[in-house]
Structure 1
Amino acid sequence: MNNIMDFIDKYLTRLSLPKVGVTDLVEIAILAVLVYQIMLWIKNTRAWMLLKGIVVLGVFILLAYIFNMNTILWIASKTINVAIIAVVIVFQPELRKALEQLGRRNFLSAIFAFDNSKEGTERFSDRTVNEIVKAVYEMSKVKTGALIVVEQNIMLNEYERTGIQLDSLLSSQLLINIFEHNTPLHDGAIIVRGNRIVSATCYLPLSDSMSLGKELGTRHRAAVGISEATDSLTIVVSEETGKVSIAIGGELIRNIEAEVLKKYLVSIQNKSMDFKRFRLWRGRAKNEKNADK
């Protein structure tokens, strides 16, 4: 009991409210946003279970400090450095993914011109947009499963090498033929670069996001996985329902119509565009993402 009273007297009775200025409020707001983003990232990865374990250990260490359990405190002080290194090693893929996503934020690209060489260059033609949309909804009608990855700024060479190289001019007939049942190239994803299909039967990383529904299959998890690792736009046609979904920026938007898909493709063509209208399109699509029931 004396230890508890000493702890209260030492740390709690001397608390006083500091003077808060404008700079302090701005700093608090920045820290709040950073903590929220970190917590959001932790919740959507395997780190969520780790965080709960760390909280439990923290409570035990606090109790050990209050009750002067010196052996437990000595063990904790000797193992904390090793534990930090172990966490970094175990969660290296998640940390790398988080840093990549931070580097792709629009506010950074607006301040620092990391790569302006592609600005003003059309990524693919209007014909390619129309051919993709046409093929996707033809396959949707007959419930032919498909997985189409459209490359943007981040090159997909490492995923391209996992498949069979094609380097073929994109057309709706070719897309439909690739994903036709029992054909040699129907399993896996295709990668579109510019106006060409560069590779088929590619393997993509599966997302381990906790927010994805249990009813979603491998295609949808692969689509979200590649969108978490790169800035690509991935189109999925469900083999069970025929519904069309897209994954971009780690988000899966389900059950979209042809017009919405076309607007997303046009938005990544690298043309001059009205960003306000694109936000309206994106908002409209978000309202439909849970409609695939």
Structure 2
Amino acid sequence: MWDIRDIITNIGILDIIDITIVAYAFYKLYTLIKETRAEQLVKGIIVLLVATKASELLQLHVINWILINTMTVGLIALLIVFQPELRRALEYIGRTKFIIRSNTDFENENIDKSIEEIVEALYSLSRQKIGALIVIERETGLNDIIQTGTILEAKITRQLLINIFIPNTPLHDGAIVIKDSKIKAAGCFLPLTENKNLNKELGTRHRAGIGISEKSDCISLMVSEENGYISMAKNGKLYRNITKEYIKDLLTKILKQESENKGIFKKGGLFK
């Protein structure tokens, strides 16, 4: 008890800063792996650590030897198994920039107009039960995805968005990528999700929308050609049959927050 009191009384400002940084780092790490397969793997690692210590205390030498060697080899295996999560963490760090933005009012007006055009196009396609897939780039670059399609560099309008997805037109089969307040490309190919727990009724369009959201921080918007439902994928999670008001408010909140987030650590947004 005296040792704990002695430690507390000798804590300085730098120690508090040190503890705060470590706590924040662990919190961000938890948010990155939350509700992903990595969360279950972390639980498994904790069980192995407890089992290793227990086998040592109980003098179960064979089991202890096996567990220790498993943990040693497992460090290399973890780099392979956690590759998607490690990539996401490094991309998160890499997205932090020292940039001060200006002309915020103009940017917000641009965002409002673009969101209005996207949402109106989605619900027009929904009424007609025309399948569609729109990917909105945020901070993680999608140039590799853009290069798989046809470059357009076009202004965002509901008429163009609708026309692209009309069946039997050259660019209807694939995804549209929106970047820098423009329709960058159409007919793009996306990676499919490897999540095996998804509803079997979901088709390739939804699996592609989820797949790209797992590998970047983009927002994917899908229209089902079977029932006209509009869905959204973000951070590997699928939100189905969402309302017009919900999607408009959510896009406005996310994209404006990125645009208006001023400070030392400034993040680039969708409409740069």
Do they fold alike, i.e. is TM over 0.5?
yes
- Tell me the residue number matched to 2:61: 70
Mapped to 2, the partners of 1:195 and 1:53 lie a distance apart of 44
- Tell me the residue number matched to 1:230: 216
Aligned-partner SS, 1:122: helix
- Tell me the residue number matched to 2:100: 116
- Tell me the residue number matched to 1:201: 187
- Tell me the residue number matched to 2:268: none
1:39-118 equivalences in 2 (<5 Å): 41-42=32-33, 44-51=35-42, 53-55=44-46, 57-58=48-49, 60-101=51-92, 113-116=97-100
Bigger radius of gyration among the two: 1
- How far residue 198 of structure 1 moved from its aligned partner, in angstroms, is 1.6
Determine whether 1:161 maps to 2:147. Answer: yes
- How far residue 53 of structure 1 moved from its aligned partner, in angstroms, is 4.3
Aligned-partner SS, 2:160: helix
Mapped to 2, the partners of 1:271 and 1:64 lie a distance apart of 54
- Tell me the residue number matched to 2:266: none
Tell me whether 37-46 or 15-24 shows the greater mean CA deviation.
Answer: 15-24
| Maintained 8 Å contact 2:132/2:223 | yes
Mapped to 1, the partners of 2:78 and 2:84 lie a distance apart of 11
- How far residue 126 of structure 1 moved from its aligned partner, in angstroms, is 4.8
Return the structure number with greater relative CO, CA threshold 8 A, min gap 6. Answer: 2
Determine whether 1:241 maps to 2:232. Answer: no
| Maintained 8 Å contact 1:44/1:210 | no
Determine whether 1:261 maps to 2:247. Answer: yes
Mapped to 2, the partners of 1:183 and 1:214 lie a distance apart of 28
- Tell me the residue number matched to 1:181: 167
| Maintained 8 Å contact 1:44/1:209 | no
- Tell me the residue number matched to 2:270: none
- How far residue 190 of structure 1 moved from its aligned partner, in angstroms, is 0.5
Q: Deviations over 1:79-131 (max 9, x none)?
A: 53332122113322221113434666xxxx6xxx5333577362846543333
Structure 1, unaligned stretches of length 5 or more? Answer: 1-14, 274-293
| Maintained 8 Å contact 1:147/1:235 | yes
Structure 2, unaligned stretches of length 5 or more? Answer: 262-272
- How far residue 61 of structure 1 moved from its aligned partner, in angstroms, is 2.8
Aligned-partner SS, 2:177: strand
| Maintained 8 Å contact 2:48/2:67 | no
- Tell me the residue number matched to 1:130: 116
CA distance 1:93–1:265, shift in 2 (3 Å):
closer
Aligned-partner SS, 1:168: strand
CA distance 1:138–1:90, shift in 2 (3 Å):
same
CA distance 1:52–1:126, shift in 2 (3 Å):
closer
Q: Deviations over 1:248-276 (max 9, x none)?
A: 45554433333343344444267669xxx
CA distance 1:92–1:118, shift in 2 (3 Å):
farther
**Which amino acid in the other structure matches residue 88 of structure 1?**
L
| Maintained 8 Å contact 1:100/1:229 | no
TM-score (structure 1 length as normaliser): 0.66
Mapped to 2, the partners of 1:167 and 1:189 lie a distance apart of 14
Tell me whether 204-213 or 161-170 shows the greater mean CA deviation.
Answer: 204-213
Q: Equivalent pairs: percent with the same residue?
A: 44
